């Protein structure tokens, strides 16, 4: 690596939680004007290390050296004041405040005399417009955050981090909700920041991104540092081997599922919102993995939420096992043996302040009610423990708060919750988002096993290799309409992208494969 002086050094950082040693003597050295990638499986300690740097956690041992001086940050404000900002993995804007109010939260420009200060909305708007212009971001400063898509919220968080004019920016999974075009835009921003001497600490599970954007790569495993390497010396295979400590020669498990008779048929599903989905029709077979692909704005999630009774439909029919069904509410879907893993695990998937026990049983409480309305806690605990063993969930106990587990283990708990209801149809919306390569393989294996057992799987994914590697058939959507269904064995990235942009490109007619 270069002899450029290190702007930041984390030396011998240790951090423990009840039942878990999250960090064990970790050292990290970051140079100005570089992108330093931080990689490892979920639970390796990456986010914990960054939270120690950002003042959210206090390390049990070790030191933070910034510009040659030892620093201690009691809270995030002190870290921000020292020139360190962070884009968090979990997105939590204030929903009923405007974009610009979210952007300048805690540091609104004001005017007035002495204690009589008022927010200077005119100046705040001008500064917001100027920042978005510099970053080439298409965001309305006045729209409420609750109306933003996940990708727009991610862009807002990126803009906020840049607005602090920090010397070090931590980016924790910054592209998890971005389209390929938006990722390219972020990389242009990063290169501009590098040219200005800013150091970027970049956490991602996406190997292609790391090899494209990083200068140095530090790999962690089980709370320890495996090593730091020049990115130019690494390959995807080397990174995976050092992350998981073993070779993963195949990114996807072998599958022996054989699709059978039609399990579900959807006919002409149309949203009352003219900007949403229209005339969507498809079939799902028993034992089939049906991938759903499309760019941001394709309305994939909206269609599946409507099928699950979370959104109204203006017209359309749904048949299960050949019988017409009326699904107006998620309870209707659950009674018809359907399950939905939502796109945003943290927001709509888990109950973060509740333990693993409650999160596992949440969709199945009625099964444990005994006389006088009392719960059979022993049976519940037995089922939770069976789920933990079956899905190999890493947790100190069933009483551990689910928010303290890694993203991959949280996702396994959500899977186990629905498995207890014994559904026939699983709708999986971005099931591996924010999950490392090892945990991804375990989720893929679980999906393959469910298909082999005759379950019907609908899997929405923005990752084309995942769609191509796991799907028996692939349904592609563009701007709310289905543009084709392609055999998984015959599909290519070019085919999928062609169909994903069909209504965006003049002269291309509707197609079905």
Dihedral angle computed from the Cα positions of residues 160, 188, 89 and 418, in that order, rounded to the nearest 10 degrees: 130
Q: pLDDT at position 509, please?
A: 32
98-143 pLDDT tens trace? 999 999 998 888 988 878 889 999 999 999 999 999 888 889 999 9
| pTM as predicted | 0.63
Q: What percent of the chain clears pLDDT 70, i.e. is strictly above it?
A: 94
Q: Is the pLDDT of residue 388 over 80?
A: yes
**Residue corresponding to tokens 């269904």:** 485
Region 256-279: mean pLDDT is 93
Dihedral angle computed from the Cα positions of residues 201, 204, 207 and 209, in that order, rounded to the nearest 10 degrees: -60
| Structure-model confidence comparison of residues 34 and 92, the more confident one | 34
pLDDT tier for residue 392 given thresholds of 50, 70 and 90? confident
Q: Is the pLDDT of residue 513 over 60?
A: no
Q: Is the pLDDT of residue 503 over 70?
A: no
| Tokens representing residue 441 in the block | 């393989």
Q: pLDDT at position 28, please?
A: 94
**Residue corresponding to tokens 């995807």:** 236
| Structure-model confidence comparison of residues 333 and 509, the more confident one | 333
What are the CA-CA distances from residue 95 to residues 91, 146, 196, 260, 317 (Å)? Answer: 11, 4, 33, 44, 33
Q: pLDDT at position 512, please?
A: 34
Region 137-165: mean pLDDT is 87
Q: From 265, 274, 214, 275, select the one nearest 239 (Cα to Cα).
A: 214
Region 475-486: mean pLDDT is 92
> How far is residue 95's CA from residue 78's CA, in Å, rounded to a whole number?
26
> How far is residue 327's CA from residue 336's CA, in Å, rounded to a whole number?
9
pLDDT tier for residue 507 given thresholds of 50, 70 and 90? very low
| Tokens representing residue 53 in the block | 């740097």
- Residue-averaged pLDDT of the chain: 87
Q: Is the pLDDT of residue 504 over 60?
A: no
Helices 236-244 and 437-452 pack at an angle, to 10 degrees, of 90
Q: Are 468 and 487 in contact (CB under 8 A)?
A: no
Tell me phi and psi for residue 343, to 5 degrees.
-65, -45
Q: Is the pLDDT of residue 438 over 90?
A: no
Q: Is the pLDDT of residue 239 over 50?
A: yes
337-381 pLDDT tens trace? 999 998 877 777 888 889 999 999 988 888 888 878 788 889 999
Percentage helix, strand, coil for the chain under 3-state DSSP, each rounded to 5: 35, 25, 40
Q: pLDDT at position 50, please?
A: 92
**72-76, 433-437, 465-469: which has the minimum mean pLDDT?**
433-437
199-226 pLDDT tens trace? 999 998 778 888 899 999 999 988 889 9
pLDDT tier for residue 253 given thresholds of 50, 70 and 90? confident
Q: Is the pLDDT of residue 7 over 80?
A: yes
Q: What percent of the chain clears pLDDT 90, i.e. is strictly above it?
A: 49
pLDDT tier for residue 19 given thresholds of 50, 70 and 90? low
Judge residue 265's burial from the number of C-beta atoms within 10 Å of its C-beta, 0-12 exposed, 13-18 middle, 19 or more buried: middle
């Amino acid at each position: 690596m270069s002899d450029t002086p290190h702007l930041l050094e984390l030396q011998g950082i240790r951090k423990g939680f009840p039942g878990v040693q999250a960090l064990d003597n970790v050292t990290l050295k970051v140079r100005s004007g570089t992108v330093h990638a931080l990689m490892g499986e979920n639970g390796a300690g990456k986010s914990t290390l960054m939270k120690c740097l950002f003042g959210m956690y206090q390390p049990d041992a070790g030191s933070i050296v910034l510009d040659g001086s030892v620093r201690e940050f009691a809270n995030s404000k002190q870290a921000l004041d020292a020139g360190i900002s962070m884009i968090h993995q979990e997105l939590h804007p204030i929903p009923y405040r405007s974009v610009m109010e979210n952007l300048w939260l805690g540091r609104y420009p004001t005017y007035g005399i002495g204690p009589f200060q008022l927010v200077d909305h005119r100046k705040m708007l001008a500064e917001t417009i100027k920042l978005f212009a510099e970053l080439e971001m298409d965001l309305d400063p006045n729209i409420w955050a609750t109306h933003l898509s996940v990708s727009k919220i991610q862009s807002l968080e990126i803009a906020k981090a840049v607005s602090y004019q920090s010397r070090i920016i931590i980016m924790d999974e910054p592209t998890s909700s971005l389209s390929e075009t938006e990722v390219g835009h972020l990389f242009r921003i990063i290169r501009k920041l590098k040219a200005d001497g800013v150091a970027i600490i970049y956490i991602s599970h996406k190997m292609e991104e790391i090899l494209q954007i990083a200068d140095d790569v530090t790999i962690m495993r089980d709370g320890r540092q495996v090593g730091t390497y020049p990115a130019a010396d690494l390959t995807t295979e080397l990174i995976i081997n050092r992350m998981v400590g073993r070779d993963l020669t195949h990114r996807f498990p072998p599958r022996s599922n054989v699709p059978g008779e039609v399990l579900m048929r959807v006919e002409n599903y149309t949203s009352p919102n003219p900007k949403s989905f229209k005339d969507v029709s498809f079939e799902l077979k028993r034992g089939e993995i049906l991938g759903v692909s499309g760019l941001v704005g394709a309305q994939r999630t909206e269609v599946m939420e409507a099928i699950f009774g979370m959104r109204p439909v203006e017209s359309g029919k749904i048949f299960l096992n050949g019988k017409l069904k009326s699904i107006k509410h998620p309870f209707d879907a659950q009674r018809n043996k359907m399950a939905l893993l939502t796109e945003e695990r943290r927001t709509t998937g888990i109950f973060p302040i509740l333990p693993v026990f409650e999160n596992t049983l949440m969709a199945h409480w009625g099964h444990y009610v005994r006389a006088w309305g009392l719960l059979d806690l022993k049976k519940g605990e037995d089922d939770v423990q069976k789920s933990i063993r079956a899905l190999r969930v890493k947790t100190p106990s069933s009483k551990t708060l689910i928010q303290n587990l890694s993203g991959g283990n949280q996702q396994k708990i959500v899977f186990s919750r629905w498995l207890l209801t014994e559904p026939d149809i699983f709708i999986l919306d971005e099931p591996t988002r924010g999950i490392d390569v090892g945990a991804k393989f375990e989720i893929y294996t679980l999906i393959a096993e469910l298909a082999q057992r005759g379950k019907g799987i609908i899997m929405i994914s923005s990752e084309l290799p995942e769609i191509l590697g796991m799907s028996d058939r692939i349904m592609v959507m563009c701007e709310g309409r289905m543009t084709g269904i392609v055999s998984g064995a015959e599909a290519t990235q070019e085919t999928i992208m062609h169909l994903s942009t069909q209504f965006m490109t003049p002269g291309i007619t509707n197609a079905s494969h």
